[in-house]
A = this chain, B = another copy of it.
């Protein structure tokens, strides 16, 4: 919907989808012309080079205009939605001075695919134009010599900021913060602050508050734009500012915890201070939102056994590399489970119904264990459970498993009895289901809590571990009970 149809540049959530379609349509026509031209040449007809390339040039010019009008984030979106060859075609149409902004908006996988195809001098130009915190964001993907020369070309102060930004490990506040901010002294009036702000061409993005510092750059308070705007200009900053209850971070703080604070206190920006209480940077909601999104995506990828985000149009080889690590782990656990069954081959030979029923015991155990793990991992992630709550949680999850086991296991036991006319087999089925669900619940609580206690990510691999335990355990319990009591 457009409020002002006379404007060429209205933006609407659906617009980017429309732009993508336009780009795809133009690319298709472009390729069709190319295809026709080649087809005619193949058939031995004289190549109509001038004419076809005119049509092609028109398409390219049209694409060029379209791309020039788009927001960097929209171009990033379109690049991500295109297969590699089309992606590179569009990337070539982007004005070099916009390359940096667009690379910053791209997902890691797609950014890599473009950087791979860029010349050294193009990358150097990109690095030259980025701000310190932006360069730090891209540092992992750029060649080290490009980074080094970009650092060397900066002024002293920015060089220091850059080296600092590059030194903070991923997952810390330092890696997310930026260095642009507005600071004022406390002994001036709001009028002076207003006049000072009028000297800016633009404020740093997401400026909702100004930091009040002393001569040593130590944080004395914060002055929100709101307070600046609603108060009498004659008021002094020291009177208007808030000096207590300031939410602030250190560069070493965990980025996840900072994100939780942003959510909890609905922040737009917050000061980052060093150990001497000096303001050295600023954390803003846009970096935090990106961090939240990446974190939850990583959780989903981990649960599915993927090493990292994957460009949907990645080459088969890139996809294989991304998926092999977890497939290999899965293969080992599957072979172990298979060897557990191997122990009981004699029993299966004597009562083949066991082979038919055992995957039910293992499968439902795995599903149930994953339910438990997901809840515990989530609660651990938001810091909601203490390690001291272990026994209480274990008791509850085992109770749930016991009831599920007796009820659903009882139902399956009756089913097994009816199918095979063997009531004892039904009882073994019920008992095995119950025991495996209890095993699943215990492992589902214990594994993430132990991983977290060891300082590891509780989500990483816990699903694979749970499934390994409930598979091998389920086969062992069911076949073992059957061997002892039925044969």
**Contact of B312 with A13 in the complex, beta carbons under 8 Å:** no
Q: Which residue of B lies closest to A368 (CB)?
A: B327
Judge whether A385 is part of the interface by a CB distance below 8 angstroms. yes
Judge whether A185 is part of the interface by a CB distance below 8 angstroms. no
Chain A 283-301 residues near chain B, CB threshold 8 A: 285-286, 288-290, 292-293, 296-297, 299-301
Q: Which residue of B lies closest to A388 (CB)?
A: B24
**Contact of A273 with B1 in the complex, beta carbons under 8 Å:** yes
User: For the complex, what is the distance from the CA of A326 to the CA of B404, rounded to whole Å?
Assistant: 12
Partner of A208 from the list B268, B327, B376 (CB cut-off 8 Å) is: B268
Partner of A248 from the list B12, B73, B359 (CB cut-off 8 Å) is: B12
**Contact of A304 with B264 in the complex, beta carbons under 8 Å:** no
Chain A 333-354: CB-based contact to B (< 8 A → 1; otherwise 0):
1110111011001001100111
Q: Which residues of B contact A149 (CB under 8 A)?
A: none
User: For the complex, what is the distance from the CA of A250 to the CA of B248, rounded to whole Å?
Assistant: 36
Q: Which residues of B contact A262 (CB under 8 A)?
A: 289
Instruction: Give the number of copies in the complex.
Output: 2
Q: Which residues of B contact A403 (CB under 8 A)?
A: 316, 320
Partner of A400 from the list B74, B319, B393, B411 (CB cut-off 8 Å) is: B319
- Closest chain-B Cβ to A108's Cβ sits at a distance in Å of 13
**Contact of B13 with A257 in the complex, beta carbons under 8 Å:** yes
User: For the complex, what is the distance from the CA of A277 to the CA of B7, rounded to whole Å?
Assistant: 14
**Contact of A286 with B266 in the complex, beta carbons under 8 Å:** yes
Stretch at the interface among A53-61, A112-120, A131-139, A199-207: A199-207
A218-B3, A367-B305 are known contacts. Are A345 and B334 too (CB-CB below 8 A)? no
**Contact of B13 with A305 in the complex, beta carbons under 8 Å:** no
**Contact of B218 with A225 in the complex, beta carbons under 8 Å:** no
User: For the complex, what is the distance from the CA of A71 to the CA of B303, rounded to whole Å?
Assistant: 34
Q: Which residue of B lies closest to A248 (CB)?
A: B3
Contact residues of A with B, CB < 8 Å? 1, 3-4, 7-14, 16-17, 24, 71, 73-74, 77, 80-81, 83, 105, 194, 197-203, 205-208, 218-220, 225-226, 228-232, 243-250, 253-254, 257-258, 260-266, 268, 273, 275, 277, 285-286, 288-290, 292-293, 296-297, 299-301, 303-306, 310, 312-313, 316, 319-320, 323-324, 326-327, 330-331, 333-335, 337-339, 341-342, 345, 348-349, 352-360, 362-364, 367-368, 370-371, 373-376, 378-379, 382-386, 392-393, 396, 399-400, 403-404, 408, 411-412, 415, 419, 467, 471, 475
